[in-house]
Amino acid sequence: MKGLTRKEELILLTIRALDRDAYLVAITDHLASAVGERMTLPSVHVPLTRLEKMGYIASELGEGSPVRGGRRKKIYRITKAGYRALNEYKRISENLWEAVSSQTGRKD
């Protein structure tokens, strides 16, 4: 498993949450509401490119809409490798949290 940054992990998670409608603007919006801070489009786009390159996500061109000037969306979808990686990250952090809570429990 290739290493992911925190940002990439969050984006991957967002794509998974958005399911079928994960394109750049939607991802950015979702992240903004979850994190509470808005990122710029390019700063989201760069990790997306990297994730795609590493094979965690795949993309295809969707439909256009008038609000986009008729331009098509690039819709991202999570791959099997992506799922595995997310689960792996989740497991790691749960393990770590468990250790934390048992420790605090003992202390209290």
Partner 1 sequence: MAPQYLPPRILERILERLTPPLEQEPLIGDFQETFSRLALERGRVCALVWYIGCVLRLLIILVKTTLIWRLEMVKKDIKMAVRQMTKHKGYSGINIFGLAAGLACTLFILLWVQNELSFDRFHKKARSIYRVEQDQKTSEGIFHVWDVPFVLGPALQAEIPEIKNYARSFRYLRGQLVRYGEKVFYESVVGAVDPSLFQIFSFPFIQGNADTALKQPSDMIISETMAEKYFGRENPIGKTMTLNNNYPFTVSAVLKDTPPNSTLQLHIIVPMDFLKTIGRYHEEWGSNSTTTWVEVDKTASIKAVNEKITRLVRDRRGKSAQESRQEFMLKPLLDIRLNEIFGYCQRLGSLQYVRIFSTVALFVLLIACINFMNLSTARAANRAKEVGMRKVVGASRRIVARQFYVESIVTTSMAALLSVVLVLLLLPVFNSIAGTQIEISRLFQRNYFGGILAITVGAALLSGSYPAVLLSSFHPIRVLQGKLKSGAKSALFRKALVVVQFSLSILLLISASVVFRQLNYMRTKELGYDKEHLVYMQMRGETRKKYETLKEELLKSRYVVSVTGSSLQPSRLVGDTGGGADWDGKDPDYQVILGVSFVDFDYPETMKIEMAAGRTFSREFSSDRGGTYLVNEEVVKLMGIDAEEAVGKRLDFVMDGTIVGVMKNFHLQSPREAIEPRVFLIDNSELNFVVVRLQAGNITAAVEDVKRIWQRVLPLYPFEFRFFDDDFERMYRSDERMGKILEVFTVMAFLIAGLGLFGLVSYAAEQRTKEIGIRKVLGASMTNIVTIMSKEFILWVITANLVAWPLGYLVMRKWLQGFAFRTGIAWWLFAAAGLGTLAVAFAAVGFQTIRAARTDPVKALKYE
- Residues forming contacts to partner 1 in the complex (CB under 8 A) are 23-25, 28, 40-42, 45, 61, 64-69, 71-74
The minimum distance between CB 23 and partner 1, in angstroms, equals 7
15 vs 86, beta carbon nearer partner 1? 15
63 vs 108, beta carbon nearer partner 1? 63
34 vs 41, beta carbon nearer partner 1? 41
How far does the chain reach from its first CA to its final CA, in angstroms? 37
Count of CA atoms in the C-beta half-sphere (13 A) of 45: 6
- Residue 6: name the closest of 33, 27, 35 by CA: 35
The minimum distance between CB 8 and partner 1, in angstroms, equals 18
The minimum distance between CB 17 and partner 1, in angstroms, equals 19
How many beta carbons lie within 10 A of that of residue 72, not counting itself? 13
Query: How far apart (Å, rounded) are the C-alpha atoms in residues 95 and 72?
Result: 42
The minimum distance between CB 90 and partner 1, in angstroms, equals 29
65 vs 103, beta carbon nearer partner 1? 65
Query: How far apart (Å, rounded) are the C-alpha atoms in residues 62 and 13?
Result: 20
